[in-house]
Amino acid sequence: MVAAAKSPSEKINRRLEDQTLKVGYLSILQERWPLNQDVANCSTKESAYFLHLEKEYLQVPKQLHWNKLKTDVPKSEHSRIGSMWDTLQLAQDNLGQSVMDLEGVWTHLEEFPVNDAEAEVIVETTQNKVQDQYRGSMKRIISSSTSTKKAPHKQFDLRWWQKTEKLYRASFYQAHKKFMIALRIYFEMLLEKDEEGKTYGLPEDHPDKDDVMVRNRYVRMIDSVHQSAMVAKSGHHNQIGKSRLRKTDNVPYLQHACQVTYSLIANTVPYVIGNEGNLPLMSVLGPTHDLKEDTFWTIPQIRVLQKRLTDIYDTELMNWIRSGDIEDPVKFQRKVADLHGETLAREHSQALRIISNNTDLTVEEERSALAGHIAGKGKTKEAIRSMRKKAVAHARASNFVPKHKTGKERGVLSDKEIKSWNITDDERKPMPKTFRAFREEHDKGKLTNFFIRYDTIAQEKPNSQKATKTGKNKTEVLRAKIEDRNHNILTLKNLPFKHALETVRETTSRLIAWIMLDHNLERYPLYRSIHELIDSTLKMYKKLQESRPKELNIKDQEYIEHLEQWQFELIPLEIHADVQKVYDEFETAQAS
């Protein structure tokens, strides 16, 4: 008899963990277009909205077909853009065939019976969304049973089926990537112009040009999310020293990374797709935001893998990309092909340093942080010491120990070293309102450490164009942090009461307080993200209060009152109409 599925808080052995991970990874894949066409098959409303974007923007509408546009494009460009259109059609056909092949393997299972009660329990009790038509294939994919009957016609057993399924899945990934690249190239060719403004595709005043531009932004964002999710999967799957399943719900860490990304997109992109925001940074930071903290990968290693998975292609790709600008064709090739160029790589690295709890600040940054003393001189000093200690411990575990410029290993931050920094009173900035209003620390001061990094790394220089760019990039980090924390709040139900209480206390008195008291919401808006964080934190706080009222104190009641006041003060921002329409469709499907 097989034991019941283990609760999230119980340890799970490596083999069962591998099987549970496979179910999770496959369920994530099966939610995405073109394998999925129905929002009812999505696990969350935010995933449903991402599916809506895939369905809407990964298919070329009739008015943008080449035969509709060619008369408006210079004749000299017809051959190369027409050839690209033909390539796109072939890539689309190949993708469609790969979908049919993979779905065929997943659904035609009669000849491959399996008797594996353990696999049955895992699939039937998983917290992941598993579509009914794929439950049988899930069980066969994760089964380690060898007691299966041989196929009556082909004399092939389950192992043969598993290998065949894996080959078809790899073929799908390859076809999908080629299709995405071909689609991007087609749109880029229609938009191409040189530095002097000469157009090689559609003229500037063409009625469909804005539509092509917006579609291209969405396609690049969606492609970047897909590729970054692959990076996140690789990192979290190989993390060492901790379970690869989240203790809150026993699903792969990748599920959290994806949900944070989907929420980030639903709560931000509809408001910024025109010209605001940094969509490339958002699309890579969402999936990878926990990689540095949860794995032994360094930021340079993350960058290398991101580049390898996203922007290294076979030679066939470069034959597809032909520029109309014969003076500088390579520049156009790199612009079209690369999703993760040098600028984004720098921004991504900086964002990961801010958002990761084990970041190793440079001595210059530590000095700047202490001079800024956002949490007060004493607390800031202890926070810097804590961050250095954590960074060194993490680095030692990964066999990469941070060192001073002298080559000596970094040790404990001593009062003597701090004194050598010669920080003067004139350098000290006023303490932010958040830390003046809320003196008490919760959950080991994790968010205090975050805001020290946020305030110190990549400081803005007043009244400069670079300052505006830096501010916008840091706002993308703050949005990612909000969505990360919001998903954590929503999945607190399986954690111990005291852990949940400390989380909502810290979220209220640090993250939400900073946004309401110190962040410039008018200059750097957070759109729907902050509304949802306040709502979910207040709801969870009241649930905790109802379940164990004696465990909460006067300070908790003050925090609840602050949340209610901020909820009232925050300028209302309705869910974008396009998003709401998908949410309604999803909720209707779930109800039925």
pLDDT at 2: 37
Indicate whether 12 pLDDT > 90.
no
pLDDT at 148: 46
Report pTM: 0.92
Domain regions of the chain by residue span = 495-592
- For residue 317, what are its two tokens? 């790709």
- Residue 193: strand pairing partners: 199
pLDDT at 411: 73
538 pLDDT tier (thresholds 50, 70, 90): very high
Indicate whether 519 pLDDT > 70.
yes
Instruction: Tell me the average pLDDT of the chain.
Output: 89
Indicate whether 554 pLDDT > 90.
yes
For the chain, give the percent of residues with pLDDT over 70. 90
- Most confident by average pLDDT, 237-246, 258-267, 329-338, 360-369: 258-267
How far out from the chain centre does Cα 99 lie? 25
Write out pLDDT tens, residues 367-385.
999 999 899 989 999 999 9
Mean pLDDT, residues 537-565 taken together: 97
Task: Find the range with the poorest average confidence among 65-79, 118-132, 145-159, 451-465.
Answer: 145-159
DSSP 1: -
Task: Find the range with the poorest average confidence among 298-307, 389-398, 424-433.
Answer: 389-398
Q: With DSSP H G I counted as helix, E B as strand and the rest as coil, what are the percentages for the chain, rounded to 5? A: 65, 0, 30
Indicate whether 530 pLDDT > 60.
yes
Between residues 325 and 100, the one the model is more confident about: 100
Between residues 561 and 413, the one the model is more confident about: 561
pLDDT at 278: 86
Indicate whether 47 pLDDT > 80.
yes
330 pLDDT tier (thresholds 50, 70, 90): confident
Query: What's the CA gap between 513 and 375, in Å, rounded?
Result: 13
Between residues 567 and 196, the one the model is more confident about: 567
**Alpha helix positions (H), 58-157:** 66-69, 78-107, 117-125, 135-142
Write out pLDDT tens, residues 406-420.
444 567 888 899 999
How far out from the chain centre does Cα 115 lie? 37
Between residues 146 and 469, the one the model is more confident about: 469
Query: What's the CA gap between 517 and 482, in Å, rounded?
Result: 15
Query: What's the CA gap between 205 and 292, in Å, rounded?
Result: 45
Give the burial class of 207: count Cβ atoms within 10 A of its Cβ; 0-12 exposed, 13-18 middle, 19 or more buried.
exposed
pLDDT at 10: 46
- For residue 440, what are its two tokens? 């008490």
Query: What's the CA gap between 342 and 222, in Å, rounded?
Result: 20
248 pLDDT tier (thresholds 50, 70, 90): confident
Residues 6+ apart with CB under 8 A from 173: none
Task: Find the range with the poorest average confidence among 54-58, 216-220, 301-305.
Answer: 301-305
- For residue 118, what are its two tokens? 């353990």
Give the burial class of 385: count Cβ atoms within 10 A of its Cβ; 0-12 exposed, 13-18 middle, 19 or more buried.
middle
Mean pLDDT, residues 558-566 taken together: 98
Query: What's the CA gap between 260 and 248, in Å, rounded?
Result: 15
